[in-house]
């Protein structure tokens, strides 16, 4: 039975994404984060029978949201393998790529996935349920210095040593099995009146480590210039500064670390040209309807010639 796509995940900034892609009816488009299929369904509705949509999602739950059509295919894979899968399908170049990064509403809300701070679920946090590394392993088996590193890098927390030490002492008494147990262990050091943000940052750090999210994003971005046609559009929506910084650097400077390389005439060497100089943010009306859109930033760029 097909799940309700609107319940599964409410697509953020849908109209802005479609405008950014500049969908041509006969074009080939890729949605690398299929999820509930909201963005994909809207893209597909603009295609002719000659047009083609390829979607990616490593979460088996997302497969239930697919539909049958000769010009649609959902690939059950991580989007860091974008180029390999397109080549296997005989596709050299595409007209547009959409990436809606982060965790879907379904993954947050679905019990036993462990993404949310609002429930007491097993420490899992795997986007790919077949993945070997889980949040349980990170929390209970990582050395203290490893925990400090990921809390600082991925959670951008100001006291990673204190947090890591608290986790290590708690797990010595008994393994930490659930999200509720983790929050209970950290509750004494959570900042007053800012505890929600604190726990969200801790969970973000663990989730990003489990799913190797920044490395996956880096590998994906470095493939986009090879698979997009000149004039093709890259539309990327991110939800925190770590993701957005990588996207911004790549689109504006042609690399991931932000350094600028110029040609003989002083022009920046980069494969993309910004369509929007600044990222697009959701409207207050959309945030009111879908609070998870609040932190979204949408960047749109066009593949340059040459």
Cα distance between residue 30 and residue 34, in whole Å:
9
Average of pLDDT values for 228-245?
Answer: 96
Q: Is the pLDDT of residue 110 over 80?
A: no
227 C-beta neighbours (distance < 10 Å), count: 20
Give the per-residue pLDDT at 2.
Answer: 40
Cα distance between residue 283 and residue 88, in whole Å:
40
pTM: predicted TM-score of the whole model, two decimal places: 0.90
Residue predicted with more confidence, 68 or 6: 68
Q: Collapse the DSSP code of 226 into the 3-class scheme (helix H, G, I; strand E, B; otherwise coil) and give the result.
A: helix
Task: Select from 209, 216, 295 the least CA-distant residue to 57.
Answer: 216
Cα distance between residue 72 and residue 77, in whole Å:
15
253 C-beta neighbours (distance < 10 Å), count: 17
What is the number of alpha carbons within 13 Å of residue 112 lying toward its C-beta? 2
* pLDDT tens string 261-287: 888 888 888 999 999 989 999 999 999
Calculated CA dihedral for residues 269, 272, 276, 277, nearest 10 degrees: -10
* pLDDT tens string 131-179: 889 999 999 999 999 999 999 999 999 999 999 999 999 999 999 999 9
Q: Collapse the DSSP code of 235 into the 3-class scheme (helix H, G, I; strand E, B; otherwise coil) and give the result.
A: strand
> Locate tokens 């005439």: which residue?
265
Do the Cβ atoms of 53 and 40 come closer than 8 Å? yes
Q: Is the pLDDT of residue 289 over 50?
A: yes
* pLDDT tens string 31-48: 999 988 999 999 999 999
Lowest mean pLDDT among 104-118, 189-203, 204-218: 104-118
Q: Is the pLDDT of residue 5 over 50?
A: no
Cα distance between residue 82 and residue 32, in whole Å:
8
Q: Which domains does the chain have, with CATH numbers?
A: 5-105+213-303 (3.40.50.150), 112-211 (1.10.150.170)
Cα distance between residue 149 and residue 266, in whole Å:
38
């Amino acid at each position: 039975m097909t799940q309700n796509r609107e319940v599964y995940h409410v697509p953020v900034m849908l109209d802005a994404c479609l405008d950014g892609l500049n969908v041509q009816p006969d074009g080939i488009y890729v949605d690398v984060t299929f999820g509930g299929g909201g963005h994909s369904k809207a893209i597909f509705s603009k295609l002719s029978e000659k047009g083609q949509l390829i979607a990616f999602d490593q979460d088996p739950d997302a497969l239930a949201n697919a539909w049958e059509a000769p010009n649609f295919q959902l690939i059950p894979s991580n989007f860091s393998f974008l180029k390999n899968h397109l080549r296997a399908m005989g596709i050299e170049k595409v007209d547009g790529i959409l990436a809606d990064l982060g965790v879907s509403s379904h993954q947050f809300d679905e019990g036993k996935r462990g993404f949310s701070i609002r429930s007491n679920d097993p420490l899992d946090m795997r986007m790919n349920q077949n993945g070997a590394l889980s949040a349980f392993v990170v929390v209970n088996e990582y050395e203290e210095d490893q925990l400090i590193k990921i809390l600082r890098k991925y959670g951008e927390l100001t006291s990673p040593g204190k947090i890591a030490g608290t986790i290590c002492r708690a797990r010595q008494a008994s393994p930490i099995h659930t999200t509720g147990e983790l929050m209970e262990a950290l509750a004494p050091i959570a900042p007053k009146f800012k505890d929600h943000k604190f726990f969200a940052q801790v969970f973000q750090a663990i989730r990003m480590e489990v799913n190797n999210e920044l490395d996956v994003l880096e590998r994906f971005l470095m493939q986009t210039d090879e698979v997009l046609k000149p004039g093709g559009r890259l539309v990327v929506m991110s939800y925190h500064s770590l993701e957005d910084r990588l996207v911004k650097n790549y689109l504006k400077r042609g690399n991931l670390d932000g350094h600028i390389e110029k040609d003989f005439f002083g022009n920046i060497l980069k494969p993309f040209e910004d369509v929007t100089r600044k990222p697009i943010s959701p409207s207050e009306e959309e945030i009111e309807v879908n609070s998870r859109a609040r932190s979204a930033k949408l960047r749109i760029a066009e593949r340059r010639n040459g």
